[in-house]
Amino acid sequence: MKELSQQEWKEKMENDEKSVILDVRTEEEVEEGYIPNSKNIDIYKGQEFIDEVEKLDKSKHYYIYCRSGKRSSQACSLLDQMGFSETYNLKGGFSEWQGESETK
Q: Cα(38)–Cα(9) distance, rounded to whole angstroms?
A: 14
Q: Is 26 helix (H, G, I), strand (E, B) or coil?
A: coil
- Nearest CA to 22 out of 3, 8, 35 is that of 35
Does residue 66 have an active-site annotation? yes
Q: What is the dihedral of CA 33, 35, 40, 46, to 10 degrees?
A: -80
DSSP 82: T
List, in sequence order, every residue forming a beta bridge with 89; answer none if it has no partner: 3, 64
Catalytic residue among 43, 66, 78, 90: 66
Residues designated as active site: 66
